[in-house]
Amino acid sequence: MTLDDGYEPEQAVANTKKLINNKEVFALIGGVGTPTVNAIEPITSQAKMPFIAPFTGAQFLRDPYKRYVVNTRASYWQETEAWVDYAVEKLGYNKFSILYQDDSYGRAGLSGVERALQKRDLALLSEGTYKRNTTAIKMALFNIMKKKPEMVFMVGAYKPCAAFIKLAKERKSTAKFVNISFVGTKAILEELGNQDEGVIIS
C-alpha cells in the first residue's frame, strides 16, 4: 500500500495514522523528507511499528536511539563532515556559504555544516533560505553571492537547487556547489542540463 503526502507533514501524519489502523500493515518503508519523518516518527514509535529506511539523514533519528527506526543511510552530520573535510583538506578552500530549505530538513544540514566548520575554526560567510515546495531562490542568491564564496553548500530539493546554480552561473559565479544526497543525483543533473560543471553531490 502506498500513500502520497505531497512532502507536507500534516498529510504525512494523516497517512501514517491510516496505515497504522490498517491491520494488514506491519511496517512503514521509506518515508521521504525530514519535516514529514519528524512528524510521523513519534506516531510509529508509539505504535511500536517498524519504520524502515526513512529517506532523511536527520540526527533526531539517531540520537537518542530509536528502537523502531531502521536507518539505512548516512546521517546529514556525516555527509556535511565529509563535505567540509574535502573542501578544506583537498581543495584548500576557506570561504563557504550555504543555501538551505527553511524547515527542519534544511536546518539539519545547516547544523551539520556549522559543526564541521567549527571543528576547523571556520564559519559561514553567508546563508540564504527558500520555502519548501517553491523555487523562490533569488533573494537567497543575492544574500549568498555578495560575499563571493568559493563553495556553496546546498541542503534542498533538486528544483530550487538547480535554479540557484543556473542563476549563479548566469551571473558568472565561479563557486563550486555541493548538494546533499537527498537532492537526487539523476533529478538535479537532468534539471541542470549542460550547467552541471562544478556541481558535487554527496
Residue 58's DSSP bridge partners are none
Q: 38-96 pLDDT, tens per residue?
A: 999 999 999 999 999 999 998 999 999 999 999 998 999 999 999 999 999 999 999 99
Go through the domains of the chain in sequence order and give each one's CATH number. Answer: 9-70 (no CATH), 76-201 (3.40.50.2300)
Pairing label, strands 96-101, 69-70:
unpaired
Average pLDDT of the residues in 172-182: 95
Across all residues in the chain, what is the average pLDDT? 95
Average pLDDT of the residues in 100-109: 94
